Chain A
């Protein structure tokens, strides 16, 4: 890109041209510029985690350490992967929402969806939490004080009325983020045309990779690769993912951080392709939900960690046999992905069961004297 060419000349480049632009100093200043940026973003994520928890009146050094000292996450940045930037943007969006900066949150949301398509799954919980009873742009929203040791008397889910669906805040958020997203895409399309559309957007939406990866679908895709899948087949394989995302949103939207965490884990686990870098997407949200979990490290926490890592290691052993020893273990590798899905399901169910549900925002109407007494 530094010499004026398209970044898509490299056949495996599948990101926004903004990322390539960010990395141009690699050719000009120093070849490790990108890694410095990603590592700095990694530290920024740690800072955001601390600030978000402070806003919720929680001091939890362990949570921050879970991100900063996680060997997987800091090596992701140092090896040159851009995920820490995406995580920093997501956390900044959460932070902005908590501070009441709607336009800022919307701007960064539009940008992050252009950058990496997956944050589109957060659209629904964010829109839902912008309920006018909870959030009004301008005055700072009042955050639920969970320290008062009382559970909220409100229902977990939102009441719907057509009028509230199109509240001012929701429309504003939609317009700003949609506008930013379209503007970024328009500029990229102007410079790089259809190549940008195919490589950076459509590829991710239609990606079916037959090469072995953690997903349970890889062998099914490989065995059917000679013939294309019909629309019905594609729909059927998308149904579990879609249904689950909707169910999670409608169950937990008042606690959007917890909702986003569950959605991300589920999205990754049921995706057609799973590579290890996708785990970072929920690693950055995990510290934000830990303070509300009743799960103790001994022994339930340790069991979850061992099961999840163990299932991955098991898969990797078969992957090693296939790729580096040349032995046909495709069937065993596929079964290892089923085991990994089972481990993901188990851990997710346990986290749901042990979570102390805590809505992010307090209802405006109820922040007067009446309810304050009740909360005591």
Chain B
């Protein structure tokens, strides 16, 4: 009797593990577990705009809490949404130098009545997006809407700036596959020893929202939090190595800079004084 039960337990365990292995997608929940409905409502045009009215940091936990608190009002009909899974098919930083693009390809695995995909890209410290550039991309219809929140100072080096967030809205067309290319620029990095500073990109937060209706500012929009899965090929993290100053250069760069300035100034000074003397000698000779 005991051995029979033991064998059943082992068989059940084995079946459980087999089923897990058969699943080729390693699903990772975006963040901590949500309430039973992963739906929330916002009144603003942008999710991050609502967030920054009450919060100021970009911590993951604070963001999750914020979303949890965005309850829908009673006039928004409650619908039990079928969970939509999105697959992060491709994510990489393309290009060379200080100006690159963050390319993200997302596939939605199920249709939904919500037609706007909202991508919230919390940029790591060290890179920034140019709001003016994004505006002109929006005018050229690359995105249906885009905005940058947080520190948008284009000139500050990395250690003087804070992080920024880009919120992109894209209309979903028939096939449910969306490709987004976000232009990014490198800030000047903290000096180090190796000459390069590594910036690592996390995953974006994805939401499906109802379309924003302009001129109805306080109309609530329903949004659904998407569970993001990564395809097998997309296992390595997305990194960008940015050139940075080398600490060991500090001493001699300062000294040589100052010496060069003094020598150059001195040469010009001598030339000026000599030129004055030459002219006055000429004058006295002519007299």
Chain A residues engaging chain B, CB cutoff 8 angstroms: 11-12, 150-153, 155-157, 209-211, 216-217, 219-220, 222-226, 236-237, 240-241, 243-244, 247-248, 251-252, 262, 266, 269-270, 322-331, 334, 338, 341-342, 344-345, 348-349, 352-353, 355, 357
Given contacts A152-B283, A219-B249, contact A251 B272 (CB under 8 A): yes
Q: B96, A325: Cβ atoms under 8 Å?
A: yes
B84 to nearest A CB, angstroms?
37
Q: A222, B245: Cβ atoms under 8 Å?
A: yes
Which of B37-45, B62-70, B166-174, B257-265 is near enough to bind chain A?
Answer: B257-265
Which residues from B are CB-within-8-Å of A152?
283
Contact sample, A vs B, 30 pairs, CB 8 Å cutoff: A151-B283, A210-B157, A222-B188, A223-B191, A223-B247, A223-B254, A240-B261, A240-B264, A244-B268, A247-B272, A252-B272, A322-B97, A324-B99, A325-B96, A325-B97, A326-B98, A328-B195, A328-B196, A328-B243, A328-B246, A329-B243, A330-B246, A334-B253, A338-B260, A341-B264, A342-B264, A345-B267, A349-B267, A353-B275, A357-B279
Which residues from B are CB-within-8-Å of A11?
152-155
Q: CA of A110 to CA of B269 in the docked complex: distance in angstroms?
A: 29
B268 to nearest A CB, angstroms?
6
Which residues from A are CB-within-8-Å of B35?
none
Q: CA of A353 to CA of B268 in the docked complex: distance in angstroms?
A: 10
Q: B279, A345: Cβ atoms under 8 Å?
A: no
Given contacts A211-B155, A220-B253, contact A270 B265 (CB under 8 A): yes
Q: B265, A223: Cβ atoms under 8 Å?
A: no
Q: A248, B243: Cβ atoms under 8 Å?
A: no
Q: B268, A266: Cβ atoms under 8 Å?
A: yes
Q: CA of A25 to CA of B257 in the docked complex: distance in angstroms?
A: 45
CB < 8 Å neighbour of A345 from B264, B272, B273: B264
Q: CA of A155 to CA of B257 in the docked complex: distance in angstroms?
A: 36
Most buried by B among A223, A323, A338: A223
Which residues from A are CB-within-8-Å of B287?
153
Which residue from chain A places its CB closest to the CB of B285 in the assembled complex?
Answer: A151
Given contacts A323-B97, A334-B253, A338-B256, contact A251 B242 (CB under 8 A): no
Q: CA of A216 to CA of B283 in the docked complex: distance in angstroms?
A: 39
Q: Does B215 touch A at the CB level, under 8 Å? A: no
Q: B243, A326: Cβ atoms under 8 Å?
A: yes
Q: A348, B268: Cβ atoms under 8 Å?
A: yes
Q: A326, B97: Cβ atoms under 8 Å?
A: yes
Q: CA of A269 to CA of B256 in the docked complex: distance in angstroms?
A: 16
Q: B260, A216: Cβ atoms under 8 Å?
A: yes
Q: B279, A151: Cβ atoms under 8 Å?
A: yes
A87 to nearest B CB, angstroms?
23
Which residues from B are CB-within-8-Å of A349?
267-268, 271
Which residues from B are CB-within-8-Å of A329?
243
Q: A225-B160, A334-B253 are in contact. List 10 more A-B contacts (CB 8 A).
A: A12-B155, A211-B157, A217-B257, A223-B253, A224-B254, A328-B246, A330-B245, A342-B260, A348-B268, A348-B271
CB < 8 Å neighbour of A240 from B254, B265, B286: B265
Which residues from A are CB-within-8-Å of B279?
151, 156, 357
Which residues from B are CB-within-8-Å of A155?
280
A108 to nearest B CB, angstroms?
28
Q: B243, A330: Cβ atoms under 8 Å?
A: yes
Q: Does B133 touch A at the CB level, under 8 Å? A: no
Q: CA of A190 to CA of B98 in the docked complex: distance in angstroms?
A: 40
Which residue from chain A places its CB closest to the CB of B197 in the assembled complex?
Answer: A328
Given contacts A219-B245, A324-B96, contact A345 B188 (CB under 8 A): no
Which residues from B are CB-within-8-Å of A326?
96-98, 241-243
Q: CA of A155 to CA of B286 in the docked complex: distance in angstroms?
A: 14
Q: B280, A156: Cβ atoms under 8 Å?
A: yes
B168 to nearest A CB, angstroms?
21
Given contacts A323-B98, A326-B243, contact A240 B262 (CB under 8 A): yes
Which residues from B are CB-within-8-Å of A236?
258
Q: CA of A195 to CA of B256 in the docked complex: distance in angstroms?
A: 37
Q: Does B244 touch A at the CB level, under 8 Å? A: yes
Most buried by B among A209, A226, A326: A326
Given contacts A12-B154, A220-B253, A223-B250, contact A247 B260 (CB under 8 A): no
